[in-house]
Amino acid sequence: MLSWCWPATVTAADSANGGDSPGNRPVTELPGVGAQVAARLKALGLERELDLLFHLPLRYEDRTRITPMNRVRPNTTVQVQGRIVHQEIRQARSRMLLATLADDSGQVVLRFFRFFPSQLRQLREGARVRCFGEARFGPNGFELAHPQVVSLGRDGGPPLPESLTPVYPTTQGLGQANLARLVGLAVERLRQGLVRLDDPLPADDEVMGLTNALLTIHAPGPNEDLAALVDGHHPAVQRLAVEELLAHHLALSRLNRARARQRAPRLEDGKGLGRRLLEGLPFKPTAAQDRVIREILEDLAGNRPMRRLLQGDVGSGKTLVAAAALVVAAASGRQAAIVAPTEILAEQHFRTLSAWLEPLGLETVWLAGKVKGKARRQALEALAGSAAIAIGTHALFQEGVVFRDLGLIVVDEQHRFGVHQRLALTAKGQRGRILPHQLVMTATPIPRTLAMTAYAGLDVSVIDELPPGRKPVTTVAASQSRRDQVIERLRAALAEGRQAYWVCPLIEESDLLQAEAAETRAAELTRSLAGIRVGLVHGRMKPADKQQVMDDFSAGRIRLLVATTVIEVGVDVPNAGLMMIENAERLGLSQLHQLRGRVGRGSDQAACVLLYRPPLGDMARARLEVMRETTDGFVIAEKDLELRGPGEVLGTRQTGMLRFRIADLGRDADLLEPVRALAERLDTSAQTLIIERWLGQAEQFVDV
């Protein structure tokens, strides 16, 4: 555990030496960084020299020693050097270059499946070379396939490095060698004191200095604990993690202080509209819905902007909670808006909500990208005037959309939206210091251990109960080879009048390929299920066509819906009680959970079949096992965390939540307490230094 004592107040000025020394120099000033390289670096989040220093290696290669050839072992990475004693080009299925490299102790074969004329010259008989690569057992002893080769020439070649060679995470179009060169430049400048990083943490026996930590990470000696460096338990990595967590903590405290000055309209339901809403429903709210509605109404009645996250598993009834909030805003004479990430979901909200709210005399308005021409003009006019409730997609954020008086924003499936989008919508309701209230909803359960930090700055309400009568979805896994049997079962269920989804979540990222695969599958199923109407919905269809299919499915005219993952969030067709998911072994737990959440919404026993293509890897097997065992979103999220680690669970896609470069909330949870204590002891300039160093222009603390 870390134990810092804080000797005196440290200020940024103590060690700053002006100019670009703190590492703020843009990477474009480094030699060899043109527009294209700069763009690739930016994609990795590397814009300043400092960012290069904080870009940590994925792993290390040991090029500090040469392995004698008689000591080469299979499946190890080795560096060997010697003389080429034989070269040949072999004509197998294609041309292949084989060269035999020998030293005093033995020999290895170098094998190249593709090669350039220059390599033939480099590996001619008699040439002296050094090779680095993975040794395998081949037909003629050990061989290295596509090793990296350095010519040694007469001078014996470049000296061996004294430290291990880091391998950095990179991106397409930016070679490892180039990236390593750039990081190396920054590291060298740090070593020489040309970049001086102020160290806001006290020098202490237990805590490494910042510069020392960075040098250890980027250029560890051959005896350093590599496993610890890679998994982050090494004191050098911990040192950085502490500072990063500190930066987030400080930024959040500042944000909270700024927020204390903000105001919001008080929203109260003086007209009893909420009661009338509930009276008109065919069901009674669950106790959990009641509770979170109360929590929300309390916030709305206050004069500070609500920022509340509503977490509730798929099917837990978040829409009703949203409706209750919308009604209160409208009853106070303000407007409220609800946005959803997909048109299908937004349209569904529009239908549900207008059916609930119009009878209360509230005017609802629909706006999405596809609303054009006269309809759009009318919608905009209503938003600027008489409308009470706006329902739509991100079209509501766009320029030219003006609200009369927006008092509440509800964002459904908030992880699908970026911070900027939420900001744009908030701005539409802002009047100086007065901001609209915000309710963001998600079905992606964040494990309790992470919720506090991941959603720092938001209050959290949880619906921890499903409406009564729901039976957990029965889930089975079946090999693709049993597809015919699965189709037989499906036919029987459809014959009884039930409805089903057939999901083709294609592995390919391309929309086009996904759509094609779904089309093929729909055609096949139409053939094998003669007499059953099969529909198809995918991301490349025109919105109107998509909607028509969803309408037909909702109304029961389509009995089997073949779909890509466009139906993943929010779709609610209670009569659909069966779901087949193809390629289930390729999907993550949370995505499977979301998809499966589309069924089990009615009172019939629902079932889900996870079709997989064998052989199953360990991870895939474990995931399918979890899906079979439980339908509890929280348990699934905890398992996901266990299997994948928090970085993945929180995901980079899920903007609006904290992202860390180095810290890892799962691994470093025990640093949070010391970080808080440490924060107390920093003066303003040291705080600013840390925030700027780590967060720079980062958007996660934009005040939304």
Are 428 and 402 a contacting pair, CB within 8 Å? yes
Exposure letters 463-483 (e unless 16+ CB within 10 A, then b):
bbbbbeebeebebebbeeeeb
The smaller minimum CB distance to Mg ion, of residues 54 and 501, is found at: 501
The smaller minimum CB distance to ligand ADP, of residues 467 and 646, is found at: 467
The smaller minimum CB distance to ligand ADP, of residues 319 and 499, is found at: 319
The smaller minimum CB distance to Mg ion, of residues 213 and 408, is found at: 408
Backbone angles phi, psi at 53, to 5 degrees: -65, -30
How does DSSP classify residue 8? Answer: S
Shortest separation between residue 586's beta carbon and ligand ADP, angstroms: 24
For residue 150, what are its two tokens? Answer: 């350095």
Is 319 a binder of ligand ADP (CB under 6 A)?
A: yes
> Exactly one of 27, 97, 314, 439 binds ligand ADP (CB under 6 A); which one?
314
- Bridge partners of 109, per DSSP, are 100, 143
> Exactly one of 443, 493, 506, 578 binds ligand ADP (CB under 6 A); which one?
443
Interacting span for Mg ion (CB under 5 A) from 400-408, 483-491, 515-523, 570-578: 570-578
Shortest separation between residue 461's beta carbon and ligand ADP, angstroms: 13
Are 580 and 490 a contacting pair, CB within 8 Å? yes
> What number of chain residues touch Mg ion (CB under 5 A)?
1
Q: Which of 426, 447, 463 is nearest to 339 (CA)?
A: 426
Shortest separation between residue 321's beta carbon and Mg ion, angstroms: 10
The smaller minimum CB distance to ligand ADP, of residues 289 and 631, is found at: 289
Shortest separation between residue 278's beta carbon and Mg ion, angstroms: 18
> Exactly one of 315, 392, 429, 570 binds Mg ion (CB under 5 A); which one?
570
Q: Which of 376, 571, 359, 611 is nearest to 483 (CA)?
A: 611
The smaller minimum CB distance to ligand ADP, of residues 305 and 633, is found at: 633
The smaller minimum CB distance to Mg ion, of residues 22 and 467, is found at: 467
Q: What is the 3-state secondary structure (H, E, C) of 34-86?
A: CHHHHHHHHHCCCCEHHHHHCCCCCEEECCCCCCCHHHCCCCCEEEEEEEEEE
> Exactly one of 107, 289, 453, 631 binds ligand ADP (CB under 6 A); which one?
289
Q: Out of Mg ion, ligand ADP, none, which partner does residue 574 contact, by CB within 5 to 8 A per kind?
A: ligand ADP
Site string for ligand ADP, 561-590 (x = CB under 6 A): -----------x-x----------------
For residue 259, what are its two tokens? Answer: 């927020």
CA separation for the pair 590, 565 (Å, rounded): 13
Cα dihedral sign for 85, 87, 92, 95? positive
Is 286 a binder of ligand ADP (CB under 6 A)?
A: yes
> Exactly one of 312, 407, 505, 656 binds ligand ADP (CB under 6 A); which one?
312
Cα angle 281, 284, 285; round to 5: 105
State which of positions 461-500 bind ligand ADP (CB under 6 A). Answer: 467
Shortest separation between residue 16's beta carbon and Mg ion, angstroms: 51
H or E stretch at 651: none
- Give whole-number Cα distances, 335 to 295, 298, 436, in Å: 20, 18, 10
> Exactly one of 25, 318, 521, 639 binds ligand ADP (CB under 6 A); which one?
318
CA separation for the pair 245, 663 (Å, rounded): 7
Is 309 a binder of ligand ADP (CB under 6 A)?
A: no
Interacting span for ligand ADP (CB under 6 A) from 88-96, 106-114, 307-315, 692-700: 307-315
Shortest separation between residue 315's beta carbon and ligand ADP, angstroms: 5
Is 320 a binder of ligand ADP (CB under 6 A)?
A: yes
> Exactly one of 65, 283, 495, 684 binds ligand ADP (CB under 6 A); which one?
283
For residues 685, 687, 688, 690, the Cα torsion angle rounded to the nearest 10 degrees is: 120
CA separation for the pair 584, 521 (Å, rounded): 16
CA separation for the pair 625, 36 (Å, rounded): 45
The smaller minimum CB distance to Mg ion, of residues 436 and 570, is found at: 570
Site string for ligand ADP, 587-606 (x = CB under 6 A): --------------x-----
Are 402 and 375 a contacting pair, CB within 8 Å? no
Residues in contact with Mg ion by the rule CB under 5 A: 570
Positions touching ligand ADP (CB under 6 A) are 283-286, 289, 312, 314-320, 443, 467, 572, 574, 601
